[in-house]
Amino acid sequence: MKITFFDSQQKLDDYAASLIAETISSRKKPVLGLATGSTPIGIYKNLVQKHQRGELSFREVTTYNLDEYAGLTAAHHQSYAYFMNHHLFQHVDLPPQNRHIPNGTAADLLEECQEYDRMIAAQPIDLQLLGIGHNGHIGFNEPASGLTGATHVVDLQEETLQANARFFTSIDEVPKRAITMGVGAILKAKTILLVVRGADKAAIVKQALTGPITTHCPASLLQTHANVVVLLDQEAGRELLADEPSLLNMAHS
């Protein structure tokens, strides 16, 4: 696991985007796993700028998003399909048929999950972009006594509903279920790029990266992966650095 710290959001976004761009440029048919939320917005903006400058093409790229709310149409302004279109897809030359996001309004959600896994198995993910929830979830894999490896429908925990309520008029509007790529599918990615920012994530970052490996902190399972790249701003990494000051030698400033 390689951990790098950044003293500004712009530097972190630039570095993350450069890693994704390198993955795209170094493969004939690159496959990316994508994430939503506030964390990757600056990264996507940077990738769009690279494309607009003629430095990067998405014509041969295939993407798979981690998750989608159950019950929201792609046109809903809080769906992850809408988010991806707004922040990335409509600004680059990624073919529509190469963009994959779970269908939260599918008539048969179980079949939707199984088909998603079949597609990923046929096109293994080269680089998976991840964030981390305050409770240690990755994708929408919530803390539990056991975790599902395959793509599945999950009931969102109260902490996750509270965290996502800021995007809706009220917490009552936050969907209670979601389709999420399973931990097993996430861990099959050749490279995992974990990006975390903010002091409010400092405790869970330390727990996930240095604590015991447990399904009660799903992100801790990343410790079992052979190629994880972790990018932290200094606030997100402050508890980690307090206990492991030697890590500061890897800082990127």
- Specify whether the CB–CB gap between 21 and 50 falls below 8 A: yes
Residue 68: in which H helix or E strand, if any?
Answer: strand 67-69
- Specify whether the CB–CB gap between 198 and 132 falls below 8 A: no
Q: Which amino acid is at 47?
A: L
C-alpha torsion angle, residues 239, 244, 245, 251 (rounded to 10): -80
Q: DSSP H helical segments within the chain, as ranges?
A: 9-25, 41-52, 80-87, 109-122, 158-164, 183-187, 202-210, 238-243
Can you tell me the distance from the alpha carbon of 109 to that of 81, in angstroms, rounded to the nearest whole number? 16
What is the set of active-site residues?
67, 135, 137, 142
